[in-house]
Structure 1
């Protein structure tokens, strides 16, 4: 199972209930985090600060679309992918935190692609089934909304933060590499070790922020780390790629984050533990020992065969995860073992043997790979220990908690999940030009899950009520009777024409100008994705401030931390159809 790669001994993951309130921009321009609440089930007071709620009638109209020109693309293509009726919930974020299990620390609704996890490759995504009626295999996912009537104690949260050492979290490069040629193994290991050193140095810089949130320091640390990691990862890609004639794309692994999940350990034993039922796990996923990071250098003659088999191992896990979603609730207690894990183990044994044989034809056959065959489900006992990595690098920190109980709860994110009444997925045009097809496997996001610890520059107001879409709020809306709570999430509608991802997951796309609708210089208009999520939430719950967004611990359900993520897995033909529909001014689905 992939785990957070960190270097802070303070990071532990135990069930806890934590919460954080609003973010204000002080006169100096610095962000101040105000903690007002935290854990424990109770009988009085709102679950979230009432200061975070606003009657929608009190929000002035603020949505103004640019006037279309004669060259505008005015069509619209709608996709029906359902409302996550199959219950695909996960705290993974495959766009912002690839390869990091439970990295979001909050639960997402997933629609579209059925197999996607934090570890999914493009080939895995393309082979998946989908909930979308038109066959679109793209993945669309956003944080869930919960109703929770818990009482929270501000003192407990403040104390938890005071004991927390912020830690740098980075995607692992070791276990995402293709087979490393034997003649480059030593150099790749040195570069990987240097990546470890950069992370350790960044964590040393974070010691000055113990017990507090400092967005300015966070930005300095992450910007410097990103630049240096990008250079090293590019070097690793070139070293491996030049040997085999095909450079692996690893830009998605560059960006790191600042984690405050050490707060979990400081606040263990509260509502999360009390309100869950042991053994009940949300949206179980297969966890298997990693293989890529356990292999020695591979002889040139065996590289192609080993890489094919490594990809086959990934595909097998992806198929097993999809089967867990599509067969949920079927069979008896032994169904998963007999129908999923048993067959998966047999397939993995065969593939691991093929890998060992391919290497053994040209060099010493690696021993002990069969110990990597057995897989479990999340929260099951750990798999047998595997051979050490060639570099002897330290392993990552303990995994974050899995969602638990009938409500799929995580520390700080408890209460019943509100299922969307409707999810409207639209691809829209541009007011000043035609659109070009977005590339397959484009990754993009909107909003920011961490406006407190990273600053609000990328955060977006998304909240409104049905019938009031001329205004969006950065607070939770209180709607008139009979109206639905809505989240309207617009994605960037401009693309750099080259890249499907970037080192901060943002630079390869951009938002059009708010006034004119034109894309920035060097960017081209693509079908602009808008996702509108509607909820039937009792007005009494709204008035009492008892519904809130799942969030990272330092955000405490901050409505301004709303966000949405997307990976385009439309076929080239389907995306061309979407583009033609939009450019010809039609309404299609």
Structure 2
């Protein structure tokens, strides 16, 4: 099969954070660092047997996600809060780099990990959280409670089956973070069990096929042919909006990448700590305001769509370096390997099975999925993986192994309900919601055109690829996510709504 990438080099990638973590744990001095503590928990020391098990597994730095823990951020404090949240991500990345740089010393003196890396990391986080508290208090008069408890970080071992904490259920239709809009799905537990029987076996935790740097590992992959078909969808009710609108914005053939996140970390360069593919609006970076986006060029065929669509790049884990090997978002953030250009990108807006849709507001921002789902748990996870010819079989916490002649498919069904007032929210989530199991929007929300992204890759069969991620997320497939900013002009948005509500298929 063919392979598409930006640039090839012969120098092998040299980032091995997972190995450093194994050395750290193997020294036996980090039992008190709560190897098995989950996000947001203080935890206690693990029994010696667990620590020995952890020494044979990948480890991650596990810190509470302050961004989702803040109850609300007043508008006047948001720029400073966003900067501090981005700084806390940088602090974790720096801690990973320190583990790698000191791995030999830490192997000889395991206490060095706590004293020289984890302790200072907690202190830096505490200082950032204090600045967040001051900013919110200055703008609102009330300091958020419990900030101090978000400073703690620990080392946590990856589970034996490769899933990590909080991966027991697939994203469901509970309205909070599941895929209740009916994009298909299957129980990840079932897929995982079948994968052990029908895939490549358990693999070698330390050097298994498909592993590069700090992940993924062999058990993150499953043969798609072993996954049970499951295509349950809400039934259309009388009055359902059955039409579609498809916008063609290309496949990022022109290579627009950056490691920014203008939604979650506006005004902060490298706010994502991983590289994104961009299609649509070409003016998008960390510093883009609404006016910049409105005036930006677009790769979309219909020039009335200047929306921004972006997602983490997918890389081959083949030991070959990309040209960002020494750059932020690339090798500096433990993302190595050849970036793959999709063979196909489909951006389709669909209706509601429960009724008509209303127009999206211009500059509406939506994040779907959770870039930190490995440590946060899967409450907001919302990505699906499959293979062409097998798309009635969907994976949520495994990458698919596709048979010869089949291509890898990743898809996102975005939130389809809007609160009717806000284009964004403090945690970038609560202004939109998923539909309930029956397709209806939660109380106080109204149905909008639902963006469904389908991204296809022509990569070699078998394990050996991964999406970019924050270093501590170990390139787990459950951390996949997509971002969208609506910059349709009013005329085109009216056409979108008319087509969907009228049951037509439009472009």
TM-score of Structure 1 vs Structure 2, range by shorter chain: 0.5 to 0.7
1:479 matched to 2:397? The reply is no
What is the match of residue 261 of structure 2?
93
What is the match of residue 297 of structure 2?
129
Over aligned residues, Cα RMSD in angstroms?
A: 2.9
Alignment of 1:467-506 (within 5 A): 467-474=389-396, 475-506=398-429
**Inter-CA distance 9–533: structure 2 relative to 1 (3 Å threshold):** closer
The secondary structure found in structure 2 opposite 1:67 is coil
What is the match of residue 412 of structure 1?
334
Distance 2:466 2:332 in 1: 14
CA deviations on 1:397-437 (whole Å, 9 max, x unpaired) are: xxxx525xxxx544311000111000000000001101000
Structure 2 unaligned spans of 5+: 1-79, 101-156, 169-203
CA deviations on 1:187-216 (whole Å, 9 max, x unpaired) are: xxxxxxxxxxxxxxxxxxxxxxxxxxxxxx
Cα distance, 1:51 vs structure 2: 0.5
Distance 2:88 2:223 in 1: 44
Distance 1:15 1:487 in 2: 28
Residues 106 and 410 of structure 1 are in contact (CA less than 8 Å); yes or no, is this contact kept in structure 2? no
The secondary structure found in structure 2 opposite 1:554 is helix
Distance 1:551 1:116 in 2: 20
Cα distance, 1:24 vs structure 2: 3.4
What is the match of residue 174 of structure 2?
none
What is the match of residue 208 of structure 1?
none
**Inter-CA distance 476–8: structure 2 relative to 1 (3 Å threshold):** closer
Distance 1:491 1:80 in 2: 17
**24, 27, 31: which one pairs with 2:165?**
24
Distance 1:26 1:575 in 2: 37
Alignment of 1:169-188 (within 5 A): none
What is the match of residue 219 of structure 2?
51
Aligned residues between the structures: 325
Distance 1:4 1:521 in 2: 33
Distance 1:520 1:64 in 2: 20
**437, 444, 466: which one pairs with 1:548?**
466
Residues 165 and 375 of structure 2 are in contact (CA less than 8 Å); yes or no, is this contact kept in structure 1? no
What is the match of residue 364 of structure 2?
442
Distance 1:418 1:9 in 2: 26
CA deviations on 1:32-74 (whole Å, 9 max, x unpaired) are: xxxx978xxx998743311100111222223312111121000
What is the match of residue 201 of structure 2?
none
1:422 matched to 2:348? The reply is no
CA deviations on 1:301-350 (whole Å, 9 max, x unpaired) are: xxxxxxxxxxxxxxxxxxxxxxxxxxxxxxxxxxxxxxxxxxxxxxxxxx
Alignment of 1:508-527 (within 5 A): 508-514=431-437, 516-527=438-449
Residues 461 and 472 of structure 1 are in contact (CA less than 8 Å); yes or no, is this contact kept in structure 2? no
Residues 510 and 520 of structure 1 are in contact (CA less than 8 Å); yes or no, is this contact kept in structure 2? yes
TM (norm. structure 2) is: 0.59
What is the match of residue 105 of structure 1?
273
Distance 1:482 1:533 in 2: 17
Cα distance, 1:445 vs structure 2: 1.2
Structure 1 unaligned spans of 5+: 28-35, 151-270, 283-378, 380-400
**138, 156, 164: which one pairs with 2:307?**
138
Residues 205 and 218 of structure 2 are in contact (CA less than 8 Å); yes or no, is this contact kept in structure 1? no
Distance 2:274 2:395 in 1: 22
Distance 2:90 2:221 in 1: 37
**464, 483, 486: which one pairs with 1:565?**
483
**Inter-CA distance 11–565: structure 2 relative to 1 (3 Å threshold):** closer
Distance 2:90 2:434 in 1: 40
**Inter-CA distance 486–8: structure 2 relative to 1 (3 Å threshold):** closer
What is the match of residue 114 of structure 1?
282
Residues 224 and 402 of structure 2 are in contact (CA less than 8 Å); yes or no, is this contact kept in structure 1? yes
Q: Say which one has the larger Rg.
A: 1
**Inter-CA distance 480–9: structure 2 relative to 1 (3 Å threshold):** closer
Distance 1:49 1:89 in 2: 26
**454, 458, 466: which one pairs with 1:532?**
454
What is the match of residue 189 of structure 2?
none
The secondary structure found in structure 2 opposite 1:124 is helix
Distance 1:100 1:86 in 2: 24
What is the match of residue 189 of structure 1?
none
1:451 matched to 2:377? The reply is no
Residues 43 and 149 of structure 1 are in contact (CA less than 8 Å); yes or no, is this contact kept in structure 2? no
Q: Say which structure, 1 or 2, has more relative contact order (CA 8 Å, 6+ apart).
A: 1
Alignment of 1:366-405 (within 5 A): 402-403=328-329
CA deviations on 1:141-169 (whole Å, 9 max, x unpaired) are: 0001111135xxxxxxxxxxxxxxxxxxx
Distance 2:406 2:264 in 1: 33
Distance 1:62 1:12 in 2: 38
Cα distance, 1:115 vs structure 2: 0.6
What is the match of residue 104 of structure 2?
none
Alignment of 1:260-409 (within 5 A): 275=321, 402-403=328-329, 409=331
CA deviations on 1:469-517 (whole Å, 9 max, x unpaired) are: 2221020001122111001100000111111001111111111113x11
